[in-house]
Amino acid sequence: MTTRRPRAAPASASGRRHRFLRAVGNSWPLRRWGPSVLPRLDRRLHRWTGGRWMPSRLLIPVLILHTTRRDGTPCRTPLLAGRTEAGTFIVMATNFGRPRHPAWSFHLLRDPHAAVDWHGDLLPVRARLLGHEEQRAMEEQLLGWMPCFHDYARDSRRDIRVFSLTPS
């Protein structure tokens, strides 16, 4: 006579999603090809669908950040974004765990006035770099939006810039 072991309780859907997004975010193909392929694909399909759809939105909430380069030319960057209850957008300058900060974060530091395209609506925003204490206070939310946040910070060997984008 064999005794059956009790089964472990099934993982919650959010726990499975978190593990899946962390695995995808840390996968070799995404780390290698994501920075060059995903933004182009997202921008192109976002334009073709009139702001209604981007491939990255299948997994995560994404917005298009409109900034200007130092020479004044426009820059449109698809970014993973969280949204707080107050309506503020939170964006993380992880750059797929690469050692350098992404260009768009320098644009926001130089000129905090920008715009975001959120599901087809273009909203003017004002950016503010969050301090270390503010980031720690939001850690649970950051990991909810981007489960591989700490992995990217460790691999990049730099402090990840986190910006709050407040609609103005």
pLDDT value for 6: 40
- Contact at 8 Å (CB) between 54 and 126? no
Percent of the chain with pLDDT over 70: 92
E strand map for 41-160: 62-68, 74-83, 89-93, 113-118, 121-129
Please tell me whether residue 136 adopts helix, strand or coil conformation.
helix
Q: Distance of CA 151 to CAs 31, 34, 98, 143, Å?
A: 12, 16, 11, 10
pTM for the model: 0.84
31-35, 72-76, 153-157, 158-162: the lowest-pLDDT one: 31-35
Element of type H or E holding 54: none
**pLDDT tens per residue across span 75-114:** 999 999 999 999 999 999 999 999 999 999 999 999 999 9
Average pLDDT of the residues in 8-26: 73
pLDDT value for 46: 87
Q: What is the number of alpha carbons within 13 Å of residue 7 lying toward its C-beta?
A: 3
